Structure 1
Amino acid sequence: MSAHETNVAGMAQIDADLARLGTEFRQWRAANSFRTSDDIPRVERPAGWVPRIDPVSVEERRRELAGFVEQWRATDVSGLPIPDQVDHRLLGSALARVRWELDVLRNWERDAVFLTSQILGPWFDLLLAPPPFGAARQADLVTVLGAVPQAVEQAIANLERAGVATLARVAAAELASIGSRLAGSVSALTAHVDAATATALAAAQPAASAALTRYAQWLEASAGRLGPEVVVGRDAFVWYLRHVALVATEPEELVRAALQEYRRAVAAETISRNRHRAVTDAPLAADVAAEVAAQAAAEAEVRALYEREGLLSQPESLRRYRFAEYPAYLEPIAFLGVTDDLTNERSREGDAVSYVPVPAVELPYFDAANARDPRLGIIHEGAHSQQLALSWGHPRAMRRQYVDSVANEGIAHYNEELMLDAGLFDDAPHSQTIVHNFMRLRALRVVVDVNLATGVFGLDEAIDFFVRLVPMDAPTATEETSYYVATPGLAMAYLVGKLEVKRLLADAVVARGDDFSLREFHDSLWLNGNVPVSLQRWELLGDRGDVDVLDAAGDWAETFPG
């Protein structure tokens, strides 16, 4: 074998080793990651899975993670093509996230809202996919309901040691009447499961309801003696940006850009509102059935616009995004997560479903928008649906899974403005105003998220910021900012990601000149929607600028803030 052939064979072996390591880590992560209330990072779990939140299992994960990190660091991909080097960095980001969750955020022992998610969230997740309920799903329902009492005891033990007072109060409020709400969920599910499962669920429900009620009472009684919010600090937040989110921008730059975007959004919203001041609001849908029917027609309209304007390919095989009425078994526990089923890698061709409440004047922010114009939901959550379905079919397995929210949420937020600019809402003046309001809210979220994480804002300052500038009522502002303290980096993802996409777009237009195609650009962006934009820039344009900044931050394991 010649030297060249030997080198090619060696590179092929490194590539194969990286792919194997990625597959092993993904399987490990599916069994060992915490449950999330977000819809983007959801993964298919092994049969009988329940979250593990005890210190012994956390320590076990630390040891197992160290083994993955050792293999990843030993894999020298410097001689491989850029796409393979991108995959290696994706795996590094996923590994760094585990350390971030276990040892910086430490929500598993600090955050009562997060622990509620671990206790009852798996029940919610199993209810999301529409019927029928197969035998495996029914068996899992029995398992997770039976695990609730022990999970409650572990959550209380964790919070006794390290709990945060504000988050305990938020969790207690969310759990009001939780015992009867869970009983209602179980009762409504009876008609959809077999007799043996119905009997098993009915037997497990009283103990689960009693445990959750005890948890809520303990939170209310104990919150006053728990600890203050824990701010990660600037150094740790920069570590997250460089090694998990793979964002090259400084925190202060993120805030400055967000404030500029906020001012732009306020101006655009005010001008739009003034321009259309004589136009009455669009009417609410008459009922859920009318909203579902309107959304189906609107989804077809959005797809047609993508194709007609040459914006994004819409093959017939690409699944649909649909609204549906809340099932009676899901509605009592809807607070536990985003109430949609975006499916997973194995079922990516099945339609995605988003459950909507009965149209009414007093509805939460996004539900109220959808009840008047369902396109307002389609341009964000529908973009998630398409992006995930496309990414799950990526020929490179490393790119099929969630890495960080900046890319995914950035694409969806970018798509909102894309659809506005492309004329989707030319027939709906107030929807135009609402899209500008979306931009305003998400810009403010960056300011609060980053400033809380870096210690520029205290909790009271962040609450006041929202109350004054959204404007928002104080209880809602308190709840929202408490979440930001516990999950730094999530709220900023929408605008930060959108700005990175727009920078990539502008540079690609200049680089490609007359050969630039919006359709090709968006097709690539959506397909690689799980890949941080800094890495897409490197691959698409050969621009290492952001990557060099990431490299300058050093080895993430050696610079870990802990």
Structure 2
Amino acid sequence: MVSIDADLARLGTEFWQWRAANSFRTSDDIPRIERPPGWVPRFDPASIDAQRRELEPFVERWRATDAAALPIPDQVDHRLLGSALARVRWELDVLRNWERDAVFLTSQVLGPWFDLLLAPPFGAERQSDLVSVLGAVPQAVEQAIANLERAGVAALARVAAAELADIGPRLADSVAALAGHVDAATATALAEAQPAASAALTRYARWLEASADRLGPEVVVGREAFVWYLRQVALVAAEPEELVRGALQEYRRAIAAETISRNAHRDAAEAPLAIDVAAEIRAQAEAEEEVRSLYEREGLLSQPDSLRRYRFAAYPAYLAPVAFLGVTDDLTNEQSRELDAVSYVPAPAADLPYFDAANARDPRLGIIHEGAHSQQLALSWGHPRAMRRHYVDSVANEGIAHYNEELMLDAGLFDDAPHSQTTVHNFMRLRALRVVVDVNLATGVFSLDEAIGFFVRLVPMDAPTATEETSYYVATPGLAMSYLVGKLEVKRLLADAVVASGDDFSLREFHNSLWLNGNVPVSLQRWELLGDRGDVDVIDAAGDWAETFPG
């Protein structure tokens, strides 16, 4: 039986309930959470002030806990809660996306509609929520415009305007396509709410186009604030410059490996695109079995029959018109972790975006990343310690998935697919460049346009995907770096665990622990697994997060 400090566990439960009702909507798939019935994001100044006031009692109770007297597992949980509390302050008072970022505000206005569409069938509560969300759009648009009038950033307004092209008819198509999946009363209510919602979103798009040039410049977080984020939210001990140096080294290594792979397989024909979505779905189901078998056969990661599946599905007609609002998958949540995770894929075509194009030729290329998320989250949501079931920061989650890409390559998954080997090396190249973009955006070295051009030129990547990625990262410093930074921390942990255990080391046991604790920053996993406080001591040296807060 796991012994858990009761007061700390109670504080965590109360905080996460509060967070579910108050946190902003995200277009990322990892931190999606179950929301209270009727929930819509609140981003008016009065609601922001209320969040600030309501946060303080949680902070006071957290600081009053004598963490040093607790066992190490409870100390780890205490630090997780401190990281989550610090993130709220970071979002409200440093990033301030709720008043600066038109892309973020589009996500708050219409993103909940997208989220509710991800997991059919649609029960009575979800149908009620769909009506509430659609009905809230006009007022949310007015609030978004008011916020941006006061503090909006021009470059992000232009990106949002482009994303919202023809949004009125697109939303109408989404609502119409949904009618056959809900009851008659809900279909009628949605049809009645849709014209006002479409008109408001069209007005928002036109306002963005007309107003972008008079909005403000991009806001640079700055090195001092970024270091605060690294220490207090991400719980990363490295300096920004160290992260960039490591990323550039990985970038060069990836280019060399990709070039050598491409040369070695220069006479091999490229894998054909799947003939249609149905064929891609069938191929993915077979490939998922292949990946699971490899994990077990090579003793890499346990695959119990109870561990849910990750599968592809065709875009529903009601989702496709609004697919720009988020990652088009449903990884479920803590309450439904036993359900299969689903990733919606478009029809195979020659002009697909970067990741969709890879999946259409070899679905294993998606399984080794998003499929790793599916398994890691399902395992972490079953952790006996409730604090560790909740998302804290993407460095561990994305780091594990990126690490898994290389793990599967090294384990021989793609021995039968030369061009897929090359693509995995290109994935590594992209993840490394993300660190450079992330840190340089945060410190002001890159503008948004320069970051987009950097991706297009050096990955290379199509401009729409580069724009989508970069506009999200410019408003969320620390996310783009998480893939490679987390992967390098995992590999350092692995190497040190091998040395510490010697002949007794087990890859299966190491990975089982890593996936189970996959929401926990690796600096804390290192402390708990190896007794190594090196990273924790660096983080502690940064001081109390509330006293050193840069806002």
Give me the TM-score of the superposition, normalised by structure 1.
Answer: 0.96
- Give the distance between the partners of 1:495 and 1:552, measured in 2 at CA: 24
Which residue type is aligned with residue 66 of structure 2? Answer: D
Is the contact between residue 538 and residue 547 of structure 1 (CA under 8 Å) also seen in structure 2? yes
Is the contact between residue 41 and residue 402 of structure 1 (CA under 8 Å) also seen in structure 2? yes
Deviation, 1:558, is 0.2
Which residue type is aligned with residue 10 of structure 2? Answer: R
State whether structure 2 residue 251 is matched by structure 1 residue 241.
Answer: no
1:396-441 Cα distance to aligned partner (Å, 9 max, x none): 0000011000000000000000000000000000000000000001
2:60 to 65, 70, 75: 70
Which position in structure 1 is the counterpart of 2:540? 551
1:284-303 Cα distance to aligned partner (Å, 9 max, x none): 11111110010000000000
Q: CA 1:13–1:328 in structure 2 vs 1: closer, same or farther (change >3 Å)?
A: closer
Which position in structure 2 is the counterpart of 1:59? 49
- Give the distance between the partners of 2:178 and 2:463, measured in 1 at CA: 36
1:360 to 345, 349, 358: 349
Which position in structure 1 is the counterpart of 2:100? 110
1:252 to 241, 259, 269: 241
State whether structure 2 residue 314 is matched by structure 1 residue 325.
Answer: yes
- Give the distance between the partners of 2:316 and 2:338, measured in 1 at CA: 22
State whether structure 2 residue 279 is matched by structure 1 residue 298.
Answer: no
Which position in structure 1 is the counterpart of 2:487? 498
1:424-468 Cα distance to aligned partner (Å, 9 max, x none): 000000000000000001101101111121233344543443343
Deviation, 1:473, is 5.6
- Give the distance between the partners of 1:549 and 1:476, measured in 2 at CA: 36
State whether structure 2 residue 22 is matched by structure 1 residue 36.
Answer: no
1:126 to 116, 119, 132: 116
1:214-260 Cα distance to aligned partner (Å, 9 max, x none): 00000000000000000100000000000000000000000000000
2:153 to 143, 161, 164: 164
- Give the distance between the partners of 1:226 and 1:380, measured in 2 at CA: 38
1:523 to 512, 516, 539: 512
| 1:93-492 alignment, distance < 5 Å | 93-129=83-119, 131-472=120-461, 477-492=466-481
Where 1:140 maps in the other structure, the secondary structure is helix
- Give the distance between the partners of 1:408 and 1:212, measured in 2 at CA: 34
1:21 to 11, 24, 40: 11
Is the contact between residue 14 and residue 76 of structure 1 (CA under 8 Å) also seen in structure 2? no
- Give the distance between the partners of 1:444 and 1:209, measured in 2 at CA: 38
Is the contact between residue 230 and residue 485 of structure 1 (CA under 8 Å) also seen in structure 2? no
The count of residues paired between Structure 1 and Structure 2 equals 550
Deviation, 1:372, is 0.5
Give the percent of matched residue pairs that are identical in Structure 1 and Structure 2: 88
Is the contact between residue 337 and residue 381 of structure 2 (CA under 8 Å) also seen in structure 1? yes
The CA RMSD over aligned residues, in Å, is 1.3
1:31-63 Cα distance to aligned partner (Å, 9 max, x none): 000000000000000000000010000000001
Where 2:547 maps in the other structure, the secondary structure is coil
Where 2:68 maps in the other structure, the secondary structure is coil
- Give the distance between the partners of 1:80 and 1:515, measured in 2 at CA: 29
Q: CA 1:439–1:170 in structure 2 vs 1: closer, same or farther (change >3 Å)?
A: same
Is the contact between residue 112 and residue 133 of structure 2 (CA under 8 Å) also seen in structure 1? yes
Deviation, 1:15, is 1.6
- Give the distance between the partners of 1:288 and 1:145, measured in 2 at CA: 30
Q: CA 1:106–1:66 in structure 2 vs 1: closer, same or farther (change >3 Å)?
A: same
Where 1:323 maps in the other structure, the secondary structure is strand
Is the contact between residue 4 and residue 74 of structure 2 (CA under 8 Å) also seen in structure 1? no
Which residue type is aligned with residue 555 of structure 1? Answer: D
- Give the distance between the partners of 1:474 and 1:344, measured in 2 at CA: 32
Is the contact between residue 354 and residue 465 of structure 2 (CA under 8 Å) also seen in structure 1? no
Deviation, 1:477, is 4.4
Which residue type is aligned with residue 486 of structure 1? Answer: A
Deviation, 1:79, is 1.3
Which residue type is aligned with residue 222 of structure 1? Answer: S
- Give the distance between the partners of 2:490 and 2:480, measured in 1 at CA: 17
Q: CA 1:460–1:128 in structure 2 vs 1: closer, same or farther (change >3 Å)?
A: closer
Q: CA 1:464–1:288 in structure 2 vs 1: closer, same or farther (change >3 Å)?
A: closer
- Give the distance between the partners of 1:475 and 1:125, measured in 2 at CA: 22
Deviation, 1:132, is 1.8
Deviation, 1:478, is 4.9
Gaps of at least 5 residues in structure 1 are: 1-11
- Give the distance between the partners of 1:176 and 1:154, measured in 2 at CA: 20
Which residue type is aligned with residue 306 of structure 2? Answer: S
2:71 to 49, 74, 81: 81
- Give the distance between the partners of 1:469 and 1:180, measured in 2 at CA: 36
1:9-47 Cα distance to aligned partner (Å, 9 max, x none): xxx999211000000000000000000000000000000
Is the contact between residue 353 and residue 462 of structure 2 (CA under 8 Å) also seen in structure 1? no
- Give the distance between the partners of 1:532 and 1:42, measured in 2 at CA: 18
Is the contact between residue 14 and residue 77 of structure 1 (CA under 8 Å) also seen in structure 2? no
Is the contact between residue 287 and residue 358 of structure 1 (CA under 8 Å) also seen in structure 2? yes
Where 1:141 maps in the other structure, the secondary structure is helix
- Give the distance between the partners of 1:295 and 1:462, measured in 2 at CA: 33
- Give the distance between the partners of 1:473 and 1:338, measured in 2 at CA: 17
The more displaced of 454-463 and 283-292 is: 454-463
Where 1:322 maps in the other structure, the secondary structure is strand
Q: CA 1:386–1:217 in structure 2 vs 1: closer, same or farther (change >3 Å)?
A: same
Where 2:477 maps in the other structure, the secondary structure is coil
